[in-house]
Amino acid sequence: MYAYSTSRPDTDRACFAFQPIVDAETAQPAAHRLVLRCPAGGNAITEAHVAEAAVNAAAAAGLAGAEAPLLLPLAGRGDTPEKLLHAVFRAALVHQLPSDALIVAIDTGDEGAAQLVAGCERRGIAVALEGFAAAPEAIRLLARVTPRFVLLDPALVRRIETSGARRGILDGVVRLAARIGVSVVAPGIQTPAELAALHAAGIRHVAGDWIAPASARFAQPLLCDEPAFGLGRAVTPRRANAALVRREIGAAHRRLQHHHRAAGHAVPAAEPLRMPLPA
């Protein structure tokens, strides 16, 4: 159940935002993940109601015209998978959204994850697995379904450049995903060093408020927290966005190499980032 205020339709839409998952090599969105931003209090309603309202908000925000699909997180708490997916389907039909515009994002740690995966399989809905790490539950789900995306557990991403153990786990997940043709997403990135280490490990799709904040509409992602990049002003053109990501990955990787040499560790090899700049 969610605490959710439904006093006005525009209040419903204001509760949702959409965070880009960015392809670091093109600076284009590969998908958008729904972010639920409900105020505390209000009426307690079911997850099916929230999911339907989320699809309505996504349609109003321009999902139908977006090239990248929406990742819609569902947990299956309180509602059966069939009721939950029926609500999503009903809203998608109302707005005439194409079948590939929505991807159900399922947290591998949720108790109802397997039932939700089975429901999506029956309806032919694409899935993404969230909170993914080398845990038995996550591996079992990956053995059952081939998702469009695997979103890493944010705890695995945090300060990845300082932890050999986390890098070892990450390498295993990346190799497994590559074998079955699944795109790995690193969410919650907060620093250039994390971005550089993840890119060196072979991860192309990245997300986080530091990279591109959630917004109320589907739009070209813009880097937020510009002072962290030393710019102190907003970056709006796609060309600047791509160039900035490329520069920060390169600079952070050089710092990472220096850190490993100073500590006497082997320096991780990385292919140079080739990021074509969009016109």
Count of domains observed in the chain: 1
Summarize pLDDT for 163-179 with one digit per residue, the tens.
999 999 999 999 999 99
CB 205 within 8 A of CB 184: yes
Strands (E), the chain: 2-4, 16-23, 28-36, 43-45, 70-74, 102-107, 127-132, 149-152, 183-186, 205-206
> 25 falls in which pLDDT band (50, 70, 90)?
confident
Tell the burial category of 153 from Cβ atoms under 10 Å away from its Cβ (0-12, 13-18, 19+): buried
Model pTM greater than 0.85?
no
Q: Please, are residues 174 and 202 in contact by the beta-carbon 8 Å criterion?
A: yes
Q: Is residue 117 part of a domain?
A: yes
82-93: per-residue pLDDT in tens? 999 999 999 999
Residue-wise pLDDT tens digits, 93-106:
999 999 899 999 99
Domain range for 244:
2-263
Torsions phi, psi for 32 (to 5 deg): -130, 135
Output the pLDDT for position 230: 29
Residue 124, in any domain of the structure? yes
Would residue 276 count as lying in a domain?
Answer: no
Q: Are 134 and 172 in contact (CB under 8 A)?
A: yes
Q: Write down the pLDDT at residue 236.
A: 37
φ, ψ at 259 (rounded to 5°): -60, -45
Instruction: Answer whether residue 226 is part of any domain.
Output: yes
CATH of the domain at 211: 3.20.20.450
Q: Is the pLDDT of residue 194 over 90?
A: yes
- Is residue 142 included in any domain, yes or no? yes
Domain membership of residue 65 (yes or no) is yes
Residue 135 token pair: 């845990």
Structural domain contains residue 122: yes
92 membership: H or E segment, kind and range:
helix 81-94
pLDDT band at residue 38 under the 50/70/90 scheme: low
* Residue 237 or residue 212, greater confidence: 212
